[in-house]
Structure 1
Amino acid sequence: MFRTRSGESGFSVVELLVVVAIILTIVAIAVPRMLQGRVKATEAAAISSMKAIQNAQQLYSQIYPDRGYAPTLAYLGISSSGACDSPTSACLIDPVLASGIKGGYIFEIKGDGNTPVAGYTLTATPDGSHSLGSSQCVFESDQAGVIKSRSVGPQSSGTLVSVAISQTGCGK
């Protein structure tokens, strides 16, 4: 701080601009890292939910061997009446996950169409609800239990491109 010609003390415009520049530099460094952390947390939660669904599928196939695996997520959840312990509402996963949307991801099970259901495909796709810090990672699995991932993102033309599925994660 220094004295101005009129005898009043205060900050000069240059000093204020330097402070603003420093603050903007700190924000420019911190925000991308924060968003990257949010994406990683969302992806980790999706993988955790997929593991819960896989465990529920294994248990379902043991409880209802004549039906095999559950053909949809709804079969693993609770019925609208709150009933449990039936093949169409086994109450093996929480109602939020059974609805198919949780933590920024859309979960879907597709049975193989056989009776009993001998195989299924489990997919977790980003729901796009978070415009900043959204994951571009789709997770897939089946009755073998291996969770695989693929990156999906816009190209310059605006179309979505699928990258080869790998077991190492997205964007690596």
Structure 2
Amino acid sequence: MPRLILFNKPCGVLCQFSADGSDKPTLAGFVQVPSVYPAGRLDTDSEGLLLLTDDGRLQARIADPRFKLTKTYLVQVEGDPDEAALTALRRGVALKDGVTRPAEAELIPAPDLWPRDPPVRFRKTVPDSWVRLTIREGKNRQVRRMTAAVGHPTLRLVRWQIGEWKLDGLAPGEWRELEV
């Protein structure tokens, strides 16, 4: 029976089990389950849902863009995106490595999340907003590059959902195993 672990990756944690000379914490400090590997990645400065499995086919199904598994992010951005910025995200954004697939994008109220460590910088003169962004691909640092391309750099990035799997109920650093 394949194992599937939902993990809430804290900010600052490397998305691998070995440190490779880095002084940053790794998955090994949180998930002591043998023979599981991340199905996809999150940048060190991103937080949220990371799926781990011991099944290569399941890992490929989750991570490979050909399967178009949706990934939903809660994104704190600099400024107040207008309808033109949201429409650009919805249509697809031109990046250096090509145009992104159309995304679902909507402004949302500030979600009730855990405090981030380290905290997001606060500036009195620059407002911030939250966007729920759902994509169906996974280019390197894609969400950050998309929001920057429409004039609203990402301040905080939390992956909330991958396909049917959600982060609900997991605090940073916590994990739970599901049957698949």
TM-score tier, shorter chain, comes to under 0.3
More helix by share: 1
Alignment TM-score, normalising by the size of structure 2: 0.27
What TM-score, normalized to structure 1?
0.28
- The structure with the largest strand share of the pair is 2
Q: Which has the higher contact order (CA 8 A, sep 6+)?
A: 2
